[in-house]
Amino acid sequence: MHSKVAVKDLKIGMFVADLDRPWIDTPFLIQGFLIVDRQQIAELQRICEFVVIDRARSTGAEFRKPEGARPESAATPPPPKSRLTSAITSSLEEAPTAKEDLKKVAPPELAEPPPPQPKRGLGGLMDSLRGLLKRPEKGMPDNPAELPPEAPRASLLPPSVPVTIYPDTRTVEEEVAPARAAYDRTSEVLRKLAADVWAGHPVEIARVEEVVDEMVESMVRNPDALMWVARLREQDITTYGHGLQVAVYLVAFGRHLGFPRAELSQLGTIGLLLDIGKIKLPKSILEKQGRLTPEEFEVAKSHVNLGLEILSATPNWPVEVLEGIAQHHERMNGSGYPRGLKAEQIGIFGRMAGIGDCFAALTKSRPYAEAVSSYEALRSITGWGGEYFHAPLTEQFVQAIGVFPVGSLVELSTGEVAVVVSHNKVRRLKPRVLLLTGPDKTPSAYPIMVDLLYDPLLGGEEPAFIRRSLPTGAYGLNPRENYLS
């Protein structure tokens, strides 16, 4: 039951089904939502003249029973129990949940180190952070302690690099539209770049720098918005799709560490181009189901030098960019490639690129392995810290993107499945999440936004918290089908 309503007549409890303008031109993060506070009404009055209200999805006094509906289907949904913002419907199917045994997860493409023996529950990752965390409250492993708001970072930067602090200057809702535009433009440039490489044309550095700078500016204003867009885009297993994901993680990583804008742009460029050499590899190797033979692996490893050869056709690449690309598969114990560098021989950009590349690979489906949850990927990376990756940087990577990154699926202690929308900068384990199902995993007719910072009860006696992370696609959920991103 839809009706057109002037914005001056909007009330809390109304469900906004459509606007008088395209959603993409508005700051609203998702398409369709329940009005739960006067701030939303004020924002609608600022940008719209009228909206379309769905009375059947409204609550309280604004609810109207759909015509012809059976009595049991017309029950008025309960009002929100905490600070909530947006709601949409979603269609989910029951599906297996995350695998519990990390030993079953194949390492990321092109032979990363084997995973260590995993520690059960959230405490495993918490213990891996080596003193950065407090002890869990009440000794409960499923109620994780909080990451501290800040950790020592200046010592990780080169002495010549001043530490830059980046306060968020926009909300996720305000930044999501420019973040989406930046992501789409960068994706298009990378597609053209790949075509140019196939045709034997040199890479145009100016085009790359332009889109990278746009991404950096968006992430400087608020990193969560671009991470939201990137995670909700369809998983892309192409070289440029993977590179775009890595670029987003590296810029977020560098922003957290305090690198100046110029270095953030260099990190973004490294992420975009670190696997450009794979364009020259045979599809039989890139798309092989199962592990590569030793001979095939030697061919696969050549993508690093092939990438450097491609880039060498264009002059004036920053030395830091070329070094980061050259070293993204080097490992602290010397087991990496192509040069087998060790420890201090690997520059900070190479160390950071290795971590970001590994995380992006683990969290997407590959020809020989399924995607794992963000939490499981971070647990692996922190477990590899010291031997394969620089341990302090693995800890800071968790700080940068969060134990539960924006756009990842999580299960709450009360049973609901939710998607992480934005982080709380002080209490990192209490993000804003959108509830997608009820406690029994059935799709929620009225998904709602919950800020875990305010300890919502959600029908239980204890405040809800995140119990575990879920892999992309858990319970048949594809957020890209339901969210404006």
State the average pLDDT for the chain: 79
Do 380 and 441 have their domain in common? no
Say if residue 267 is exposed, middle or buried (CB neighbours under 10 Å; 0-12, 13-18, 19+).
Answer: buried
pLDDT at residue 133 is higher than 50:
no
Which of 136-150, 200-214, 355-369 reaches the highest mean pLDDT?
200-214
Domain termination site, one of 47, 74, 101: 74
Q: How far, in whole angstroms, is CA 323 from its chain's centroid? A: 26
Q: Which two tokens stand for residue 215?
A: 């991404």
Count of C-beta atoms within a 10 Å radius of residue 362: 25
Which of 83-92, 231-240, 267-276 reaches the highest mean pLDDT?
267-276
Q: Report whether 453 contacts 196 (CB < 8 A).
A: no
Do 472 and 334 have their domain in common? no
- What average pLDDT does this structure show over 238-263? 90
pLDDT at residue 124 is higher than 80:
no
Residue 145 in domain: no
Quote the pLDDT of residue 481.
54
Q: Which two tokens stand for residue 246?
A: 């890595």
Beta-ladder partners of 450: 433
Give pLDDT tens digits for 302-318.
999 999 999 999 989 99
Do 459 and 392 have their domain in common? no
Do 41 and 59 have their domain in common? yes
pLDDT at residue 276 is higher than 70:
yes
Dihedral over Cα of 300, 389, 423, 80: its sign: positive
Give the phi and the psi of residue 96 in degrees, each rounded to 5: -60, 150
Do 305 and 425 have their domain in common? no
Q: List the domain range (segments joined by +) for residue 40.
A: 2-74
Count of C-beta atoms within a 10 Å radius of residue 149: 11
Q: Which residues of 104-114 are buried (b: 16+ CB within 10 A; e: fewer)?
A: ebbbbbbbbbe
Q: How far, in whole angstroms, is CA 95 from its chain's centroid? A: 22
CATH number at residue 306: 1.10.3210.10
* Tokens 């190479």 found at: 350
Where on the phi/psi map is residue 180: left (φ > 0), alpha (ψ -120 to 50), or beta? alpha
Do 70 and 38 have their domain in common? yes
Residue 101 in domain: no
Do 330 and 238 have their domain in common? yes
Preceding amide of 338 cis, omega within 30: yes
Do 379 and 430 have their domain in common? no
Count of C-beta atoms within a 10 Å radius of residue 309: 13
Query: How many Å apart are CA 311 and CA 205, to the nearest integer?
Result: 9
Over 167-190, what HEC string results?
CCCCCHHHHHHHHHHHHHHHHHHH
pLDDT at residue 144 is higher than 50:
no
Give pLDDT tens digits for 277-304.
999 999 888 888 888 888 999 999 999 9
First CA to last CA distance, the chain: 27
Do 263 and 289 have their domain in common? yes
Residue 23 in domain: yes
Residue 180 in domain: yes
Residue 57 in domain: yes
Q: Which two tokens stand for residue 394?
A: 């693995």
Query: How many Å apart are CA 442 and CA 324, to the nearest integer?
Result: 45
Residue 96 in domain: no
Do 421 and 397 have their domain in common? no
Domain termination site, one of 349, 380, 401: 401
Q: Which residues of 409-442 are buried (b: 16+ CB within 10 A; e: fewer)?
A: bbbbbbbbbbbbbbbbeeebbbbbbbbbbbbebe
- What average pLDDT does this structure show over 196-217? 93
Domain termination site, one of 20, 44, 74: 74
- What average pLDDT does this structure show over 69-90? 35
Residue 94 in domain: no
pTM to 2 decimal places: 0.73
Say if residue 285 is exposed, middle or buried (CB neighbours under 10 Å; 0-12, 13-18, 19+).
Answer: middle
How many domains in the chain? 3
- What average pLDDT does this structure show over 432-452? 83
Query: How many Å apart are CA 249 and CA 177, to the nearest integer?
Result: 19
Quote the pLDDT of residue 15.
84
Query: How many Å apart are CA 300 and CA 338, to the nearest integer?
Result: 11
Quote the pLDDT of residue 39.
81
Do 394 and 417 have their domain in common? no
Residue 189 in domain: yes
Beta-ladder partners of 5: 51
Do 397 and 420 have their domain in common? no
Give pLDDT tens digits for 308-366.
999 999 989 999 999 999 999 999 999 999 999 999 999 999 999 999 999 999 988 77
- What average pLDDT does this structure show over 146-150? 41
- What average pLDDT does this structure show over 135-154? 41
